[in-house]
Amino acid sequence: MRKNLFLLLLLTWLAAVPAWAHGGEDHGDAKAATPAGATYFSAAAASEQFEVLLRYFPLKPGGDADLRVFLSDFATNAPIKGAKFIFTSPEDPKLKFTTTEKGPGEYLVETTFPAKKAYSMTVQIAVGDRADLLLLEGIAVGKELPVAAAPAAAGPGLFSSWKTILALVGAFVLGIALTAVFLRRRRPEVLLTSEQVLSASRRSPFP
């Protein structure tokens, strides 16, 4: 009988655990959070001598385009200053580019892209006795930066659902009731055992 009561208590508490843990969550509709949007576009190219990184904000067709070019040594990743550039665009050979050095390895390239489409730029680089030719592709004109997704809403707390509260109260009350039943049934059993011992002692002859 005691084993059955203990087993019933254990099953009751285990049944209440899922309600406490999940609190009414709906896992079927959960979605992975979208990463925050980038703040600029970029393109890169490299050779055995140089590495070129291009960064730019959204470009409007026919508007002024300010492009940032970062030039570094491919082997050491050290910024290279004093480089000479010649930029051209295969999509529009008439485009003109103006280059200004802004810091060690950083250069401002100014131009105007007339159409809303993707452009590429060939980059002729000359630094001292070294020279190379690289191609920067995928320069998107008229494209907007992706918008960052809104932060996911926080899940409900442990006591935010009435179902959770009801499960907690029900488990608590049921635990008290089962404990009372167990103690009430145990007491007569103890008294009966005492009476049996006393009766047996009276019946037994004294030595």
66-76 pLDDT per residue, tens? 999 999 999 99
Residue 149 lies in a domain: no
Identify the pLDDT of residue 68.
98
State whether 73 and 163 are in the same domain.
Answer: no
Asked if 167 and 135 sit in the same domain, the reply is no
Residues 48 and 15 occupy one common structural domain:
no
Per-residue model confidence (pLDDT) at position 25: 43
Are 114 and 49 found together in one domain?
A: yes
Q: Is 13 a residue whose pLDDT tops 70?
A: no
* CATH number of domain containing 50: 2.60.40.10
- Rounded Cα distance between 71 and 183, Å, is 83
For 154, which DSSP code? P
| Structural domain contains residue 145 | no
Name the residue range of residue 183's domain: 2-21+159-201
Domain assignment present for 91 = yes
Q: Is residue 159 a contact partner of residue 24, using CB atoms and an 8 Å limit? A: no
88 and 118 inside one domain: yes
Same domain, 103 and 183: no
Domain match, 91 and 132 both: yes
Across the range 115-142, mean pLDDT stands at: 97
How many separate domains does the chain show? Answer: 2
Q: Rounded to the nearest 10 degrees, what angle do helices 2-22 and 162-203 cross at?
A: 170
Q: Quick one: 65 and 113 in the same domain?
A: yes
Model pLDDT, residue 38 = 79
Residues 117 and 48 in one domain: yes
Number of neighbours of residue 5 by Cβ within 10 angstroms: 15
Q: Which of the pair, 31 or 156, is modelled with greater confidence?
A: 156
Q: What is the mean pLDDT of residues 58-79?
A: 97
Same domain? 99 vs 135:
yes
Q: Each residue of 137-172: pLDDT tens digit?
A: 999 999 998 876 666 665 555 555 666 777 776 666
Does residue 75 sit within a domain? Answer: yes
